[in-house]
Amino acid sequence: MKNFEEINKNSFGILFESVSEGIIVVNTQQIIVASNASANRMFGYEEGELKEQHLDILIPQKYVHHHDALVDNFMHHHSSPRQMGSGRDLFGLRKDGQQFPVEAGLNPFELQGHHYVMAMVIDISIRKTQEKQILDLNNQLEQKIEIRTEELRQTVLELEDEIIKRKEAENKIKESLRKERELNDLKTKFLSLVSHEFKTPLSGILTSTTLIGKYTQTEQQEKREKHLKTIKSKVKYLNNILDDFLSVERLETGKVSYKFSSFPLSKVTNEVIYDANMLLKDGQKISYPQNIDDIVLDFDEKILELILTNLINNAIKYSPEHSTIDIEAFAEENLLTLKVKDEGIGIPEKEQKYIFKRYFRAENALLNQGTGIGLNIIQSHLENLGGSINFTSTENQGSTFTVKLPLTSNQ
């Protein structure tokens, strides 16, 4: 069995380093098994220093006993994410002994039979300072109101104006705090979603690996091949998720680079459809595009493969058994048009305007695996490369996605 460090490196490393909040993962003994760079900086430790340390090292001494009881209770009685210390002030302890106020969201998860808790930690020192300043300001204002009301009643109008400004400032701060809480909740839900997306295929791989070991007879080769196919499919799914997050990171940081080459469209199409055939449901089939042997384009081959893979896999995923995924391709002047048409669940009309937004998933697709990243990545790459993507869709009838891209690069 892989240890947590290896799993973390292969599966969660990108996620750990893609968020600005501190992330700390502990096991059931409250031993730290992983921490990201933000957490290390927040608590004043070098990379790897926190590993194998008890969580108490990050808690002020006077809070350790109570905090241990809270975490232990959460480990044994909670199975869903929640905010830690609701209604109470929480404090962290830096390596140099300095205490500071924090907020912590807890997210339990299980990986290969082991239970862990992922804590998202936020340093709220600035917010606490601002809240104190606001409280002091309010106290001062109240004192001024009492004094001026008593001594100079003619200043009532001025005081009322000052109260209005104070209320406006309070409302703005309340709204700011509300938005901050919403953002934290969104990030916690996002981490939970991604954890689930990794957990499901990993469980399938583990099950198939176990069953393969039971089929030792020559005549059981067909059963072995079935489980090997399952393992290959799950590994490819995990790899696609990681590729998606790498693409998001590169697009966000502007580090994406494109490699242009001349190649026949049929080369990429054949490879993508070959891989997609392993994902087909019972009775599903892919209608191969006609008359594409002579189409040659100067483009980034990996990006075109990414586009076709995403669209075809989506069509398979959201279409029923015994349905057809139809692929069309044709060239006009310096423009290549690709169409992927399915007979699937379609996209509800009221949600179609959000379909290219990152992490968005339509209500009727929530039961299917997915992170809501693929279409956003495709659109971003096409915009960078002078192409476009659009779609038409009718709920319960199917969708058609149309991609247009230049045959000849201007790079």
Per-residue pLDDT reduced to its tens digit, 187-239: 555 555 565 555 566 666 777 777 777 777 777 777 777 777 777 777 776 67
> What pLDDT is stored for residue 175 in this prediction?
79
Q: How many CA atoms lie within 13 A of 381 on its CB side?
A: 29
Residue 362 has pLDDT above 80, yes or no: no
> What pLDDT is stored for residue 222 in this prediction?
77
* Tokens standing for residue 364: 């009727």
Identify whether the C-beta of residue 315 lies closer than 8 Å to the C-beta of residue 387: no
What confidence category does residue 61 fall into, taking pLDDT thresholds of 50, 70 and 90? confident
Kindly state the average pLDDT of the residues 276-300.
92
> What pLDDT is stored for residue 247 in this prediction?
63
CB atoms within 10 A of CB 49: 15
**Helices 221-253 and 374-384, axial angle in degrees (round to 10):** 50
Kindly state the average pLDDT of the residues 310-330.
93
In terms of pLDDT, which residue wins out, 116 or 253?
A: 116
What confidence category does residue 44 fall into, taking pLDDT thresholds of 50, 70 and 90? very high
Residue 72 has pLDDT above 70, yes or no: no
* 70-74, 101-105, 188-192: which is most confident: 101-105
> What pLDDT is stored for residue 28 in this prediction?
86
Any residues with CB less than 8 A from the CB of 187 and at least 6 apart, and which? 19, 21, 120
* 350-354, 366-370, 391-395: which is most confident: 391-395
**Helices 301-317 and 265-276, axial angle in degrees (round to 10):** 40
**Helices 301-317 and 374-384, axial angle in degrees (round to 10):** 150
Of 126-130, 192-196, 254-258, 276-280, which gets the smallest average pLDDT?
Answer: 192-196
In terms of pLDDT, which residue wins out, 336 or 351?
A: 336
> What pLDDT is stored for residue 1 in this prediction?
40
What confidence category does residue 241 fall into, taking pLDDT thresholds of 50, 70 and 90? low
Mean pLDDT, the chain, integer? 81
> What pLDDT is stored for residue 248 in this prediction?
61
Of 47-51, 218-222, 346-350, 382-386, which gets the smallest average pLDDT?
Answer: 218-222
In terms of pLDDT, which residue wins out, 97 or 367?
A: 97
Q: What is the pLDDT of residues 152-181, one digit of tens each?
A: 777 777 778 788 888 888 888 887 777 677
Kindly state the average pLDDT of the residues 339-367.
79
Residue 311 has pLDDT above 90, yes or no: yes
> What pLDDT is stored for residue 266 in this prediction?
94
> What pLDDT is stored for residue 49 in this prediction?
92
Q: For residue 253, with 0-12 CB atoms within 10 Å meaning exposed, 13-18 middle and 19 or more buried, which class applies?
A: exposed
Instruction: Say how far apart CA 210 and CA 225 lie, in whole Å.
Output: 13
Percent of the chain past pLDDT 90, that is, above it, reads: 28
> What pLDDT is stored for residue 269 in this prediction?
95
How far does Cα 41 stand from its chain's mean position? Answer: 23
Phi, psi (rounded to 5 degrees) for 256: -70, 135
Q: What is the pLDDT of residues 130-154, one digit of tens each?
A: 988 998 898 888 888 878 777 777 7
Q: For residue 1, with 0-12 CB atoms within 10 Å meaning exposed, 13-18 middle and 19 or more buried, which class applies?
A: exposed
